[in-house]
Amino acid sequence: MKHYSNKVKKIVYGGDYNPEQWPEEIWPEDMRLLKGAGVDIVTLNVFSWAAIQPSEDEYDFSKLDKIMEMVRKNGLYVCLATSTGAHPAWMAKRHPDVLRTDFEGRKHKFGFRHNSCPNSPAYHKYSVRIAKKLAERYKDYDNIVAWHISNEYGGECYCENCEKAFRLWLKEKYGTLEALNRAWNTSFWGHTFYDWDEIVLPNALSEHFEYNRTVFQGITLDYRRFNSDSILNCYRMEYDAVKEITPEIPVTTNLMGFYPQLDYQKWGKYMDVISWDNYPTCDATPAQIAMTHDIMRGVGGGKPFLLMEQTPGVSNWHSFCALKRPGVMRLWSYQAVAHGADSVMFFQMRRSIGACEKYHSAVIDHVGNDKTRVYREVAALGRELEKLGEATLGAVTEAKAAIYFDWDNWWALNCTAGPSADLDYLGEVRNYYQALYELNIPIDFVGAEDELDHYQIVIAPLLYMTKPGYDEKIRRFVASGGTFVTTYFSGIVDEHDLVITGGYPGRLRDILGIWAEEIDALPPDRENAFTYRGQVYPARLLCDLIHPEGAESLGGYHKDFYAQMPAVTVNTFGKGRAYYVATRSNEAFYRAFLGDICKECGVEPLHDSVEGLEITVRENELGRYLFFLNHNENAVRTILKDDMMDILTNERYKSGAELEINSRDVKIMKYIR
Ligand code: GLA
Ligand code: ZN
C-alpha cells in the first residue's frame, strides 16, 4: 500500500519520549508501561542538543545510543528528531548570532526554545552538522520510520544578519531597485530607495505601530515571506543533510495548523510527509478542529499526514487547562484519522517533574503506574488500533468542493489598514467551511498553485489578493463548468498589495459580472439585512455596493442609501457560474446558500445531517470507509444507505438499518461491495 513508510502496517501509536530527562533505572518500567498501552512508536531526541553536544567540538552520543538500543530491543519504531529546536547555552554565549532580535528590536539572551536566528551562520553550521552526525550514527537502525527536523519551527527575527539576508532576498526577487520601488510604491511618504543597504526590516522601530499595523504593507508582506523562507531554509538544510545519508527515510517537521508566521503551502513542497500537532483550545468546535486537519492535508497535496502530537489528557499552556473528558481523546484521535492521519501520537510518554510542562499530561503520569484514567483510555485505544491494522492506511479523501486558502492573502488582510479593523480571514473561511461540514460535504483546501480541475465547487472567501495568473485559473475553471464563490473585498490587490485599478473586484470582474463601486464598513453594533431566496439574513462587517454587469441579483440590501443594491449575485460564465456574496452574514445563511449551490452542482452529502455527528470518508484499495464521529453528549441514530460493516466490531449492517452511535463514540463503517 502507498503511504509514508513501507515499514509500518498500521496506524503508529506513541509520541514524544524523553528518557534522557529521567534516571536510567526507570527506563525498563517505561518500556513495560508503554508496550502495555499499545505504543509502538516513540519520538526521540527532540530537545537533546545540549546533551549531545556539550561544547564546540565535543559530541557525546552515549546516552542516545543506549536509548536507541533499548527502544529497538523492545520492538518500537522511532521518529528521530534532530534536536535543533533549542540551541545549547554555550552556543548562545560563544556565538551570540544564534540569538534572535524581536519585533521591538531587543536582542534576546539565552533562554526559552525555538529561539535561534534563522540567518545565523553559527546556527546553520551546527544544526546541519548535528543532523548529519545523527544520520551517520543511526542510519542502520531499520526501525526509524521518520526524521523529525527541529520542532515546531516558528517566530521571527529582526537582527542584523536577517536584515542583510533580507536585502539579498529582495535583490534576488526584484533584480533592480526600480522594480522594488515600484512594487512597494515607495513614492508614497518619500520612501524611494537608492541603495539596497538603505532598506531596513519592518518592525516597531521602522514601519510598524503594532504587530499587524504597518504603514507599508508591501514591505511587511515581503518580510513575512522572507522570514518564512529563512526558517524553511533551515529546515531544508537539515533535510538535505539527513537525506544524503538515509535517502529512504521520510522527513518531516511538526507543523501547527493555521500558524500565521509560516507559509505552510510553500513548506509542504519540501516535506516527504506532513505532520502536525493538534492542541485545540477548550472552546474549539469540532468543525474548527476538522478544518485544521483539512488544511494540513491540503498543504501536503491531499496525501495522508501524521498526527505528531496531541495531549492524552490536558495541556499546561492554555489559560484554563480543562481535562479532556472521558472518550474525547479517542474521539479526537479518530477525528484526525477521519481527516487523513496515518498516525496517532501524543506529547508525551512520561510526565516531566520540572519546568513549564510538569502539568501537561502524559501516558505515564506522576503517579508512575497504569492505574490512571488517561493510561486506561490510551491503552484501550492502543488495542483498537492494533485491531484496525492497515485498513485505513494511505486512504485518501475525494472531495468535490474546495476552499481556497492562501498565506499571502492572510498576511495582506491582517495588515491592510482598512476598511475594517474586524476583517477576519480565518473567521470568514470558517463560516463557509462550517456550512459544508454540517452538510457532510468533504472539503479540500487548495492554495494558489493547486489545480482546480477535479473540483465542482471552489470557494474563495475574502480573495483580497489575486496573484498573477490566478484570475486566469478561475476563469478556466468556471468557463469549463465549475462553480466559483467569492465574497466582499475580493480581487482588490495584486501580490504586492497594490490596488488593481479599473474597478473592484479587479481581474475577477468579468468572471463575476459585477462592479463593486464602494465598500461600507459597519461597526460591530450596526447591521444591515438582505433577502436571499425569500429569507432575510443579516449583513455585517462590510457591505460592498455592487452594480451587476451581466450578473443576476439573488437579493438586495434592505436599508440605507444602498437599499435594493444586490447583496448576492450569480453570473453565468462559459459553462459555469460565479457567485459573489457582498457582505458577511450568519450561519443560517451560509448553510442555506451552500446547500443550494451543492444541490445545483450535484455535489452530494456523504450522509444525512445529524447535529453534532461528523461524517467523513477515506478510501484506499482495501475499501471505502465512512467515519461517524459523535461529538454530542447523547447518543444519536441514523439510517444507513448501503450495506456496511463496522470494522472495529465486525458487525454487519444492511442498507436501511439503523446505526446507533453513543456519546463520543466512533464508527468506522466500510462499504460492503
Ligand atoms: C508543542 C511542542 C511540544 C510540547 C507541547 C506541549 O506541541 O512541540 O514539545 O511543548 O507543545 O503541549
Ligand atoms: Zn536574525
Pocket of ligand 1 contains residue 360 by CB under 6 Å: yes
- CA-nearest residue for atom 5, ligand 1, is 347
**Per-residue DSSP letters for 203-242?**
STTTTEEETTEES-HHHHHHHHHHHHHHHHHHHHHHHHHH
- CA-nearest residue for atom 10, ligand 1, is 357
3-state secondary structure of 519: strand
C-alpha cell at 592: 442555506
Q: Give me the amino acid identity at 143.
A: N
Sorted by sequence, the CB contacts under 8 Å of residue 571 that are 6+ apart come out as 511, 512, 513, 514, 550, 551, 552, 577, 578, 579, 580
Q: What is the pTM of this model?
A: 0.98
Pocket of ligand 1 contains residue 40 by CB under 6 Å: no
The residue-averaged pLDDT of 403-421 equals: 96
Pocket of ligand 1 contains residue 151 by CB under 6 Å: yes
Ligand nearest to the CA of 163: 2
C-alpha cell at 233: 531554509
Q: Name the CA dihedral angle for 340, 81, 6, 8, rounded to a multiple of 10 degrees.
A: -70
Q: Do the beta carbons of residue 70 and residue 31 sit within 8 Å?
A: yes
Q: Give me the amino acid identity at 15.
A: G
User: In a 10 Å sphere around its CB, with 0-12 CB exposed, 13-18 middle and 19+ buried, how is residue 44 labelled?
Assistant: buried
User: How far is Cα 413 from Cα 212, in angstroms, rounded to an integer?
Assistant: 10
User: How far is Cα 595 from Cα 425, in angstroms, rounded to an integer?
Assistant: 22
Q: State the pLDDT confidence band at 670, using cuts at 50, 70 and 90.
A: very high
Q: State the pLDDT confidence band at 432, using cuts at 50, 70 and 90.
A: very high
Q: State the pLDDT confidence band at 283, using cuts at 50, 70 and 90.
A: confident
Q: How far apart are the first and last CA of the chain?
A: 20
Indicate whether 75 pLDDT > 80: yes
Alpha carbon of 347 to ligand 1 centroid (Å): 6
Q: Do the beta carbons of residue 37 and residue 379 sit within 8 Å?
A: yes
Q: Do the beta carbons of residue 178 and residue 282 sit within 8 Å?
A: no
Neighbouring residues of the ion ligand 2, judged by CB less than 5 Å: 117, 119, 157, 159, 161-162
- CA-nearest residue for atom 12, ligand 1, is 315
- The pLDDT assigned to 244 comes to 98
Indicate whether 263 pLDDT > 80: yes
600 noted as active-site residue: no
3-state secondary structure of 17: coil
Alpha carbon of 276 to ligand 1 centroid (Å): 11
Alpha carbon of 105 to ligand 1 centroid (Å): 27
Indicate whether 1 pLDDT > 60: no
3-state secondary structure of 202: coil
Q: What are phi and psi of 570, to 5 degrees?
A: -135, 140
3-state secondary structure of 290: helix
Q: Do the beta carbons of residue 437 and residue 463 sit within 8 Å?
A: no
Pocket of ligand 1 contains residue 544 by CB under 6 Å: no
The CA distances from residue 10 to 3, 38, 382, 386, 666, in Å, are 11, 12, 11, 7, 18
User: How far is Cα 430 from Cα 615, in angstroms, rounded to an integer?
Assistant: 17
Q: Express each pLDDT in 5-61 by its tens digit.
A: 999 999 999 999 999 999 999 999 999 999 999 999 999 999 999 999 999 999 999
Pocket of ligand 1 contains residue 83 by CB under 6 Å: no
Q: Express each pLDDT in 593-620 by its tens digit.
A: 999 999 999 999 999 999 999 999 999 9
- The pLDDT assigned to 401 comes to 98
Cis-peptide, bond into residue 564, ω within 30° of zero: no
Place of cell 548529519: 132
The CA distances from residue 544 to 48, 72, 448, 556, in Å, are 54, 62, 24, 11
Pocket of ligand 1 contains residue 84 by CB under 6 Å: no
- The pLDDT mean for the chain works out to 97
Q: Express each pLDDT in 95-134 by its tens digit.
A: 999 999 999 999 999 999 989 999 999 999 999 999 999 9
Cis-peptide, bond into residue 538, ω within 30° of zero: no
User: How far is Cα 257 from Cα 434, in angstroms, rounded to an integer?
Assistant: 17
Pocket of ligand 1 contains residue 152 by CB under 6 Å: yes
Q: Do the beta carbons of residue 550 and residue 513 sit within 8 Å?
A: yes
Closest CA to 77 of 13, 163, 151: 13
3-state secondary structure of 170: helix
Which H or E run includes 568? strand 566-573
Q: Do the beta carbons of residue 653 and residue 640 sit within 8 Å?
A: yes
Q: Give me the amino acid identity at 264.
A: Y
Cis-peptide, bond into residue 121, ω within 30° of zero: no
Q: State the pLDDT confidence band at 673, using cuts at 50, 70 and 90.
A: confident
Catalytic hit among 152, 238, 428, 495: 152
Pocket of ligand 1 contains residue 309 by CB under 6 Å: yes
Q: What are phi and psi of 238, to 5 degrees?
A: -70, -35
User: How far is Cα 457 from Cα 434, in angstroms, rounded to an integer?
Assistant: 15
User: Ligand 1: which of 278, 347, 348 to mutate, judged by most atoms within 8 Å of the beta carbon?
Assistant: 347
Sorted by sequence, the CB contacts under 8 Å of residue 189 that are 6+ apart come out as 215
**Per-residue DSSP letters for 654-669?**
-TT-EEEE-TT-EEEE
Q: Express each pLDDT in 540-579 by its tens digit.
A: 999 999 999 999 999 999 999 999 999 999 999 999 999 9
Q: Residue 445's CB: how many other CB atoms inside 10 A?
A: 24
User: Ligand 1: which of 357, 358, 359, 363 to mutate, judged by most atoms within 8 Å of the beta carbon?
Assistant: 357
Q: Express each pLDDT in 499-533 by its tens digit.
A: 999 999 999 999 999 999 999 999 999 999 999 99
User: How far is Cα 578 from Cα 567, in angstroms, rounded to an integer?
Assistant: 14
Ligand nearest to the CA of 164: 2
636-639 and 658-661 strand pairing? antiparallel
Q: Express each pLDDT in 643-660 by its tens digit.
A: 999 999 999 999 999 999
619 noted as active-site residue: no
- CA-nearest residue for atom 3, ligand 1, is 347
Q: Express each pLDDT in 142-194 by its tens digit.
A: 999 999 999 999 999 999 999 999 999 999 999 999 999 999 999 999 999 99
Q: Do the beta carbons of residue 362 and residue 349 sit within 8 Å?
A: yes
- The pLDDT assigned to 287 comes to 98
Alpha carbon of 287 to ligand 1 centroid (Å): 23
User: Ligand 1: which of 150, 259, 277 to mutate, judged by most atoms within 8 Å of the beta carbon?
Assistant: 277
- CA-nearest residue for atom 4, ligand 1, is 347
The residue-averaged pLDDT of 637-641 equals: 98
Q: Which atom of ligand 1 is nearest to the CA of 46?
A: 9
Give CA angle at 44 (357, 13), nearest 5°: 85
C-alpha cell at 5: 513508510
- The pLDDT assigned to 317 comes to 86
Q: Which residues of 103-118 are buried (b: 16+ CB within 10 A; e: fewer)?
A: beeeebebeeebbbbb
